[in-house]
Structures are given as C-alpha cells and as structure tokens.
Amino acid sequence: MRRVAIAGIGYTKIGELWERSLRDLFVEAALKAMDDAGVDKVEALYVGNMMSGSLQEQEHLGALLASHIGRPGIMATKVEAACASGGMSLHQAYLAVASGLYDMVIAGGVEKMTDKLTPDVTLSLAMADDREYVVYSGATFVGLNALIYRYYMHKFDVKQEDIASFAVYMHENACNTPYAQYRNPIKLEDILRSPFIADPIHLLECAPISDGAAALVITTLDRAKKLTDTPVEIIASSAATDYLSIHERDDILTLRATVVASKEAYGQAKLEPKDIDLLEVHDAFTILGVLALEDLGFAKKGEGYLLVREGEIARDGKIPVNTMGGLKARGHPVGATGIFQVIDATLQLRGEAGKNQISKAETALLQSTGGVGGTVVIHILKRRD
Amino acid sequence: MSVPRYWRGIKYHYRLIGSECLSCGKRYYPPRKVCPICHSRNLRDVKLPERGKVLTFTVIRVPPRGYEKYAPYVIAIVELIDGTRVLAQLTDIEPEEVNIGIEVEAVLRKICENGEEGIIQYGIKFRPVFT
Amino acid sequence: MRPSREVGIIGYGVYIPMYRIKGEEISRIWKSSTIPVKEKSIVGPDEDSVTMAIEAAKNALKRAKIDPRDIGSIRIGTESKPYAVKPSATIIAEALGITPVSLAADLEFACKAGTEAFEASIALVGSNMVNYALAIGVDTAQGRPRDALEYTAGCGAAAYILAPKSYETIAYIEGSYSYVTDTPDFWRREGQFYPMHTGRFTGRPAYFKHIVEAAKGLMENLGLKISDFDYVVFHQPNIKFPMTAARILGFKVDQLKPGLLCGEIGNTYAASTLIGLAGILDIAKPSNRILAVSFGSGAGSDAFSIVVQDAIESKRDLAPKVLDYVKRRKYVDYALYAVYRNKIRT
C-alpha cells in the first residue's frame, strides 16, 4: 500500500445558498481544490452525497459531476453512507490511491438541502434509519438522537447544561471561520431557551440545514510533496458499521462503530488518543459530540461531558475539538460534512487557521458519522513538511 | 409508503410479529433472515409479547412529511417483557405524563393517512396500561 | 326467528376511547339550554372505526378463549367506515389473525348495523356454516356543529363472538325478531360529511314505533312476557328515548340502568345497543334473561332475547369491562374536539 496525502483543498461557503445549485456548488469546490493543488489532470472522482435522489430527484452524481467539472470519461461515482458520505468518499479515494490503481483523485462531497420544505427534508434525513419500522413509527433523526440524550442523562445523572454547552464552543470557534454558516457567539441560556425539536434536544443544539460543497485532491505522499509545501498525510483510514437502529443495540449509549473504526485507525497509525492534537467530531447534536469524546478514547463512558464542562475542548484546552466550528456552527451540508472536517483539520495542520490557529497542530483525528452511528469513518491526518 | 411496501409489512405491523433465532433464541423486531449474533439462517416468525416498559422517549415536535397532523407526539424505545426492544409511538398519553420506566401495552392505531385520497396506514403504538 | 341449532355468545368485548367532551362545553359554544347527555366519548387523532373494532374484538377473543383462526366469519356494522369502498372487515381480520379463510363484510343500517352483524352471525353459526362468527358494531359518529345531535354523537365499539350454544358460551340467544319499514327519519347522502335528521319525526314514527313493534313481536313469537325479563337494553340516542321506551313497554328503570350508558359516552350509533348489552353482561347472573332491542334509522329494529349462562362468572373478568373504559376519561375543550373530529379545514 502506498502512502497517501492531501495535495489541495477547495470549498464553498456554507449556508442557505438559494442561487447555487448542487452542481454549481460541487464544481466550485472541485475546481478550487484542483487549483490549490496546481493540477489539471485527475483520474477518479468520488462524490459524497446522501439525499440528491430525494431532494433533487437526481442520482448518478459521479457521471454528472465528472462531466460538469469538465472531465467526462474519468472514473466517477457517488458515495453514500448517510451523514458519513463525505468521510466515506475520502476512505474510497484513499483506497484508490493506496492500492496503486489511481494516482490523482478528487474526494469531494456536496449537499443541497434547501430545495425542499422542512417536513420533506426531515423525512429525507430520516432515511438514515429504517424507513419501514423506525421512521414508519414517526421517528425523526433528531428524535433518535433525543432518545439517546435522555437515556444518557438518566443513566449517568448528567445535567443537560453540561452537554448543551458543547454548542457554545462550536460557535465561539466559528466566529473566526470565514466560510462558516453561523459566525455569531451563543450563550448557554440562548440554547436552553430555544424551542425543543425533540425533547430534550433544543433547536440550538442541532446542526443546521445547510448547502455546501468541499473537495480534496488526493495523491501519493511523494507526489503531494512535489505539489505543495504543506502536504498532509492520511496515516489512517478506517470505517465500521453497527446495527442501523439504536433499539437493536445492546448498549444504546455507545456508538460501537466509532469504537471499532477508531481502534482500527489507531492501530494503522500506531498512535493513541494522547498523541492526537485536535479532533473533528461529528456533532450533528451536542450529545453526539459528548459520546464521540468517550467512544474515541478521550474520556470514560459517562464522563465525556466533563471535558466540555471543564473547557478542555476549547482551542486552548487539553484536546481542542472542532476548532473551526464543527457541524453546529460551521455548518452541516450532509454529504460534504466529512470533507469539510478534513478542510478544517488541514487548515490547522497547514498553519492556515487564522485566529483559530492552535499552537500544536501536527496530528488530527476525524470522525465522520452516518445516521446514529450506523456508519463511522475515521481518518488520522499528519502534517508532513 | 407505497401500497406494495405497506402490504408486505402488514402481518408484522398489525400483529407485532418479529423473528426468533432457532439456534440461539434471540428475538428481533423488525424481522430478519440472518441472526447477527450466531449467523444462523434459521429464523422463524414469532409473535412478540404486547406489554413492556419505556426505556427512553422523546417528543417529536418537528415531524416528517405525512405526520404533521399528529405532532407533537411521543416516540419511545419500549422493552417488551421478553427483553425484545421495539421503537414505537406512545399514544393516549400527554408528553408531560411520560416517564422512563412506565408500563405500556400495544394497541393498533393509525400511523398516517396519505392525504384524503390515499390508503390509511395502521401500526402498533403503545399506551399506558390501564387495567 | 330461531336458527336450526342453538347459538350462544362465547365472548364479548367493548372499546370506548378515552377523550370526553362535556355537554355543557358544547352548550358554552352554541349557547343552547338543552343538554341531552352529560358527556360523550370521542376518538383521538390516531383512532377510527377500524382501530376501535380491533380492540373490542381482541377483548371478545380474550373472553372466548378460542384461536382466532377458527373464526369463520367477520361481519362489521358501521356508518363511519374509514373507506367508502374497501372493507374494514378485512383489515380487522388481518389484525386479529383470522385471514385468509373467512367470510368478511361491512354492513350498513344506520344505528342498527351492529345488530345486523350480530343477526347475520347468528344465522351463519345457527345454520352450521361456521363454528365461530365475529360480529362488531362500531362508529365514530359525526355530529353537525350547532345541531342537537352534536351533543350525543359519540364513538365506541362492541364485539361479540357467536358460537354453537354449549357450556362454554356465556349466554345463548333464545330468538330474534326484526321489524323494518321505509321510514326516512335520519340519513346521510353519498359524499356528505354530516347526516340529516327530521327532528321530532325521529320519535314516534321512527324510534318508538319500530322498537315497540320489534319487542312485542319477539315476545309474542317466543311466548314471553315483560315479567320474564330481568334486564332490558335499547338503542340509546339520548337518555330520554330509551327510558320512555322502557316505560311504554312496562319495564322498570333499574332493569334499564346497567345498560344505559348514553349519559357517559353519548350515542355510539351502531355500537350503542351492543355496548349497552355488554354493560349488562358485565353484571348479570346466570339464568338472567335480557331483552335487547336496537333501532336503526331508515328504519328498523332488531330484538333479541338472551339468557345468561354459568360460564359468564369465569369469563367476565378476562377482559376490561364497560365501566373500566368509561372510567378512563380525559376531557377536551370544544377547540380540541373540533380538531380531533376533523371539523377544521387545514
């Protein structure tokens, strides 16, 4: 297996981008990535996306977008793993280059969520769980996370404040992120006063509905070193699944897919949690942020909230988390999110994070989650200059 | 859901019929053909018990398309008396009255109607045990 | 009428939804002074005639203690079918596990559709065509806002499993008698949301004429007198009508009371007489004789003479009783009632 690295990054702003279509967004991100890497020729394209079928009535994104970036003919495919589509897109691109079959690959993601009304988007997001038995009973994606949230507080006797404040840190970071959807700080009181979407989850604990696209140029480490002064190596890439529906799991408070995939990743990279300088976790809801800290090995089960309460996840804390704002504030264009996490981490590793720059940024661990942990993709990135 | 999809699931949705692994005894809802624990392909239909306890719950206030008429409604993970867990709506109860641990029993109710012209879809919900 | 083999009731059950609206709450809106019942029952947003019928039938099965697959026929009588065309009977049959080998049909005769189902089931068992027949009367009646009937249009279901008379049946049918004429006292045209009625004309020429004729005809046929009966139950559009019918025929109020539930749940239309009958079965003793007379607008009455058997004592407690459902109540105001009963355009 060859060593794989990121040679270029490209991305759009994230938000309600009424004037931009799905293909507009992806083309912008992909071209920016190619320009950033200084390459003209790519051999393969992976497009992470979850809902183009239901929201745009469009499939076959691989061929569509390969053509629209001006490269009809290359190998191209859509990659779908619910909200982990972006992470999975990178995992496929990593395998493509590591295997030796392709040298220059784009790993991208795009989601255009504002084309339909909220009840339709809610139904589409719920496709991440079992349509015929779970969604059939009226469950929504927020609702499924709420079931876990309530049970977590009940089992470990945790106050909601200690979980909800995760979002305060996200917004604090996004203030300095030019492409973030929300660049305003929020207070804990604002969060707890915001309306319930599915009790106990408040509106301001949920990642927003977003449009956006991001892309990476992936190549061998050797090639990346020739193209850029700041290559970022992918030193681990792993993925795992779990029972799709949480009620089928023995322990609904552990995302086993995170545990399994991260163990695999730590093994590949020969690292431990203490070796990680910054984390990108999939905080679609504050509770997922807290669970990720536990399942990735940074806190014992039931104690993840302590890292939040004690401010250790802040940029100047023991383990900075989502330094550019995370899903909550930077935004969550579902299929693109996994790639945006790479963008956010890469900016840190390259030293280009501006006001958000943390001092020691050499190794980053990224968790991309699909559904309520039905799929988890883990990447570990390391600066190589 | 389209008519054929709904029709295929009628037996399982109306009568709370799940699967039981004949090799290791574990039970599942929804039904499946392969046991994830022992990988046996010997699973048969089993009628699950209609009583259980609420393990956790939430109140859906922003419903998916088709369920707007019923919002806000409660969904819960119910642990049946044989240990099998199902996810279902709770009914005949206000959100404020729900607590972890309350005892519930299965009833058949309307799940959603496809507008005024489509078929009515029924399914299992749980209500507080009343006798 | 008597079939060729004796038929009994092997199981019975009811279902009444939990929501109630008080008569005084309805009168608060329309500012009327006449309140014919204390309160009526209404379905919640996720209930309809099918869901109610299923729970009533499940209760009947609990008392019958038979395998649902042995049921050979299901007849359901209602004027509030969820579908104008598509049998409710098959949905119920599927939910109970009766399908696929069974007769199944929905019947209509306004408020006596339930006893029509009961009568048809007696015939199927009595003729030896099936061994167990399930009869259900159920309605989620719609009351026109501001109309007198809005106070009483209630929701409920009752189910009976008929079987050959045996020591396992909780009561047997001594005989039945039906009296029908073309009397248009109350009707609903195709496509209309609310029914029409003819005010005072629904009394003497309709309700009282048919109930009294059917009761008299039954007693004459079977050689019985009023004094042979311990209890009586009539169709209950309100409290006054059944009490007047009882008086006309010569019954005492105490014989009517256990079956007179209209004041608590309203007029449950096709379920009315059958829920009333269940209320009596919940307290009756072996060898008690019950006169049950329904009334359906359009018009007609079915009268039955039913004698309670020993098995009632051991089977009665196997399922919730009528009063268990009556006690389970939650009041709603007129606004929520209008939402639940689909009276608001969205």
pLDDT at A206 over 80: yes
Yes or no, beta carbons of C83 and B120 under 8 Å apart? yes
Tell me whether residue C217 is exposed, middle or buried, using C-beta atoms within 10 angstroms of its C-beta: 0 to 12, 13 to 18, 19 or more: middle
* Interface residue B76 vs chain A (CB under 8 A): yes
The proportion of chain A whose per-residue pLDDT surpasses 70, expressed as a percent, equals: 100
Structure confidence by residue, pLDDT tens digits, A121-141: 999 999 999 999 999 999 999
Specify whether B102 is located in the same domain as B118: yes
Interchain CB contact of C328 with B (< 8 Å) = yes
Transcribe C189-231 into DSSP letters: -TT-SS-EE-GGGGIIIIIIHHHHHHHHHHHHHHT--GGG-SE
Residue A353 lies in a domain: yes
CA angle (C288 as vertex; C283, C291 as ends), nearest 5: 95
| B53 and B32 both lie in a single domain | no
**What is the total count of domains within chain A?**
2
Let me know whether A16 and A58 are in one domain: yes
What CA–CA distances, in Å, run from A59 to A25, B116, C24?
A: 16, 31, 59
Structure tokens given for A371: 């559904």
What is the reported pLDDT for A52? Answer: 98
Judged against a pLDDT cut of 90, whether residue A69 lies above it is answered with yes
On whether any CB of chain B is under 8 Å from the CB of C83, the answer is yes
Task: Tell me if A133 and B111 make a contact (CB, 8 A cut-off).
Answer: no
Radius of gyration of chain A (CA): 19
Query: What whole-number distance in Å separates Cα of residue A153 and Cα of residue A267?
Result: 32
Residue A366 included in any domain: yes
Give yes or no: residues B65 and B107 share one domain. yes
**Position A164 pLDDT exceeds 90:** yes
* Residue B22 and residue B67 in one domain: no
Q: Please report the pLDDT score of residue B114 as a whole number.
A: 86
Q: Which residue among the candidates A83, A91, A171, A202 is catalytic per the annotation? A: A83
Residue C346 has pLDDT above 90, yes or no: no
Strand spans (E) along C50-131: 71-77, 103-107
pLDDT at B26: 97
Q: Which residue has the tokens 């090799």?
A: B23
What's the pLDDT tens digit per position in C202-217? 999 999 999 999 999 9
Name the band, by pLDDT with cuts 50, 70 and 90, for residue B115. Answer: confident
pLDDT > 90? residue C34: no
pLDDT at res. B103:
98
> Which whole number is the average pLDDT over B73-84?
98
| A332 given a catalytic annotation | yes
How deeply is A362 buried, as exposed, middle or buried, from its count of CB atoms within 10 A (0-12, 13-18, 19+)?
middle
Beta strands at C196-197 and C231-234: parallel, antiparallel or unpaired: unpaired
How far is residue C248 from each of residues C171, C207, C211, measured CA to CA in Å?
A: 27, 12, 10
**Alpha helix positions (H), chain A:** 22-37, 52-55, 61-68, 85-98, 118-125, 141-156, 160-164, 166-174, 188-193, 221-227, 256-269, 286-295, 304-309, 334-350
Report pLDDT digits (tens) over C64-86.
Answer: 999 999 999 999 999 999 999 99
**Same domain? A72 vs A90:** yes
pLDDT band for position C307 (50/70/90)?
very high
Collect all residues of chain B within an 8 Å Cβ-Cβ radius of residue A154.
56, 100
Percent of chain C whose pLDDT exceeds 90:
97
For residues A163 and A214, membership in a common domain is answered with no
Q: Which of A118, A134, A158, A199 to mutate to test the interface with B (most CBs of B within 10 A)?
A: A199
Mean pLDDT, range B79-97, rounded to an integer: 97
Contacts of A136 in chain B (CB under 8 A): 1, 9, 13, 111, 121, 123
Q: Is the pLDDT of residue B20 over 90?
A: yes
Please give the order of strands across the beta sheet that includes A44-48: A75-79, A44-48, A105-112, A211-220, A4-11, A232-241, A375-383, A363-370, A278-280
Q: Are residues A274 and A159 in the same domain?
A: yes
State both tokens at B68: 């707007």
Q: Which of C253, C260, C258, C205 is nearest to C237 (CA)?
A: C260
CA distance C285 to C276: 16
Q: Which domain holds residue A349?
A: 141-206+232-383
Question: If you average pLDDT over residues A345-372, what whole number do you get?
Answer: 97
Residue B6 pLDDT: 95
Does one domain contain both B57 and B44?
A: no
Report the C-alpha gap between B112 and B103 in whole angstroms.
25
Residue A284 lies in a domain: yes
Burial class (CB in 10 A: 0-12, 13-18, 19+), B128: middle
pLDDT computed for residue C196 by the predictor: 95
- A3, burial (CB in 10 Å: exposed 0-12, middle 13-18, buried 19+): middle
Peptide bond into C299 cis (omega under 30): yes
The parent domain of residue B41 ranges over: 1-48
| Phi, psi (rounded to 5 degrees) for A43 | -110, -20
The answer to whether residue A385 scores a pLDDT higher than 80 is no
Structural domains for chain C: 7-170+316-339 (3.40.47.10), 175-313 (3.40.47.10)
Q: Tell me chain B's radius of gyration from C-alpha atoms.
A: 16
Q: B111 to chain C, minimum CA–CA distance in Å? A: 7
B64–A140 CB contact, under 8 Å:
yes
Q: How far apart are CA A149 and CA C149, in angstroms?
A: 48
B39 and B57 belong to one structural domain? no
Residue C291 DSSP one-character state: E
Quote the pLDDT of residue A3.
98
Residues A218, A195, single domain; the answer is no
Residue ending a domain, among A227, A261, A294, is A227
Q: Quick one: A288 and A357 in the same domain?
A: yes
User: Residue C9's pLDDT is what?
Assistant: 98
- Other Cβ atoms closer than 10 A to A187: 12
Name which of B10, B56, B119 to mutate to probe chain A: the one with the most chain A Cβ atoms within 10 A of its Cβ. B56
Judge if A186 and A104 occupy the same domain. no
Closest CA to C137 of C75, C73, C193, C188: C75
Size of interface B-C (CB pairs under 8 A): 44
Name the pLDDT band for C286 (thresholds 50, 70, 90): very high
Per the CB < 8 A criterion, the answer to whether B56 and B64 are in contact is no
Residue C235 is a catalytic residue: yes
Q: What CATH number corresponds to the domain at position B77?
A: 2.40.50.840
A and B adjacent (3 or more CB pairs under 8 angstroms): yes
pLDDT at A336: 98
Q: Could you tell me which residues are beta bridge partners of residue C289?
A: C307
Separation of alpha carbons C129 and C123, rounded Å:
9
Q: What is the pLDDT of residue B90?
A: 98
Q: Are residues B117 and B84 in the same domain?
A: yes
The per-residue pLDDT of chain A, averaged, comes to 97
User: Considering the domain boundaries, does residue A130 fall inside one?
Assistant: no
- A215 and A304 assigned to the same domain: no
Q: Are residues A153 and A219 in the same domain?
A: no
pLDDT band at A172 (very low <50, low <70, confident <90, very high): very high
pLDDT of residue B1: 83
Of the partner residues B89, B107, B122, the one whose CB lies closest to the CB of residue C55: B107
| Predicted local confidence at residue A153, as pLDDT | 98
Question: Does residue B99 share a domain with residue B57?
Answer: yes
Which CATH number characterizes residue A32's domain? 3.40.47.10
Per-residue CA distances from C231 to A102, C12, C289, C309 (Å)? 89, 17, 7, 15
**Per-residue model confidence as pLDDT tens digits over C100-146:** 989 999 999 999 999 999 999 999 999 999 999 999 999 998 999 99
Contact C94 B131 (CB under 8 A): no
Token pair belonging to C128: 């030896």
Number of domains chain B contains: 2
- Shared domain for A174 and A306, answered yes or no, is yes
Q: Can you tell me the distance from the alpha carbon of A174 to that of C332, in angstroms, rounded to the nearest whole number?
A: 47
Q: How far is B31 from chain A (nearest CA, A)?
A: 10
Same domain, B53 and B41: no
Chains contacting B (3+ CB pairs below 8 angstroms)? A, C
B113: nearest CA partner in chain C? C46
Partner-chain contact B120 C47, CB within 8 Å: no
d(CA A112, CA A101): 31
- Judging by DSSP bridges, how do beta strands A44-48 and A105-112 pair with one another? parallel
CB contacts < 8 A (A, B): 111
- For A96, A250, C127, C131, C166, the CA distances from C308, given in Å and listed in that order, are 80, 52, 22, 20, 12
Residue in the structure block whose two tokens are 């065509």: C129
pLDDT recorded at residue C2: 92
What pLDDT is attached to residue A131? 95
- Number of C-alpha atoms within 13 angstroms, CB side, residue C84? 9
Tokens of residue C282, six digits: 């919940």
How deeply is A50 buried, as exposed, middle or buried, from its count of CB atoms within 10 A (0-12, 13-18, 19+)?
Answer: buried
Helices (H) and strands (E) in chain A, counts: 14, 11
Is B87 found in the same domain as B124?
Answer: yes
Residues B18 and B59 in one domain: no
Residue B102 and residue B68 in one domain = yes
Q: Does residue A184 sit within a domain?
A: yes
- State the Cα–Cα distance between residues A111 and A22, nearest whole angstrom: 7
Judged against a pLDDT cut of 90, whether residue A375 lies above it is answered with: yes
A385 close to A229: Cβ distance less than 8 angstroms: yes
pLDDT recorded at residue B45: 97
Catalytic residue among C155, C235, C262, C264: C235
Inter-CA distances, A134 with A256, B105, C200, Å = 20, 18, 53
**Four-residue CA torsion sign, A63, A69, A73, A74:** negative
In this structure, the answer to whether residues A157 and A223 fall within a common structural domain is no
Please state at what angle helix A166-174 crosses helix A286-295, rounded to 10 degrees. Answer: 100
